[in-house]
Amino acid sequence: MACRHRNTQVAQHLLGAIESLDRQAFLEARGEDGFTPLYAACARGFEPVVQFLLNEGSNLEAKDETIGLTPLIAASAAGELQVVLLLLRRGADIEAMDNDHMTSLHYASFQGHHEVVTFMLDWVEREGLDRNAIVEAMDRFGKTPLCWACEAGHLEVAEVLLDAGANAKAADDHGFTLLHLASLNGH
């Protein structure tokens, strides 16, 4: 609960009261929603709590129990740029996928968080990762991050992805092109 309400002092006090053998279990405990404390803090952008939990040893790649979202995916979907930066600096896997094979870039693109998308693409470049593989990653529906940006009508994100080399002729598993996806949703 402390991690959901931006209260680092309460989280510190609670962990201080737990014996060292139980600390990891406490850090990785899941609420009825299937979220760990780290996931909850990332999804809400509580950077000091995220920092604290990471310093205490929270699992950076723990997935939620519903659709397999990682803390990085949660922060990206919420547009929490500073938390995304913190997680990547701590070694979060930018290519991690949920159960539908969607990455943090898919989620940030679909939600229209162009600052997060731009930062992630710059991060990929700086780290020497395969930008094309990340930009062209397909989820289980055959959709790339660009497909999701077009479907949701996020022109600024689409432009960033196209500038990064995303395929303008992309189509999903149903043959819907970017123009189809945008048009079907009134964009």
Among the ranges given (12-26, 58-72, 85-99, 151-165), the one the predictor scored with the smallest mean pLDDT: 12-26
Q: Write out pLDDT tens, residues 17-38.
A: 555 557 666 667 777 777 888 9
Q: What is the pLDDT of residue 1?
A: 47
Q: Give how many domains the chain has, as a whole number.
A: 2
Q: Is the pLDDT of residue 15 over 80?
A: no
- Longest Cα–Cα distance of the chain, Å, equals 57
Q: What is the pLDDT of residue 48?
A: 94
Among the ranges given (32-36, 63-67, 86-90, 120-124), the one the predictor scored with the smallest mean pLDDT: 32-36
Any idea what the CATH number is for the domain that residue 18 is in?
Answer: 1.25.40.20
- Which of 71, 93, 115 terminates a domain? The answer is 93
Phi and psi (nearest 5°) for 49? -70, -40
Asked if residue 187 and residue 99 are part of one domain, the reply reads yes
Q: Is the pLDDT of residue 114 over 70?
A: yes
Asked if residue 57 and residue 7 are part of one domain, the reply reads yes
Q: For residues 121 and 135, what is the distance between their CA atoms, to the nearest angstrom? A: 8
* Helix spans in 128-165 (H): 131-135, 145-152, 155-163
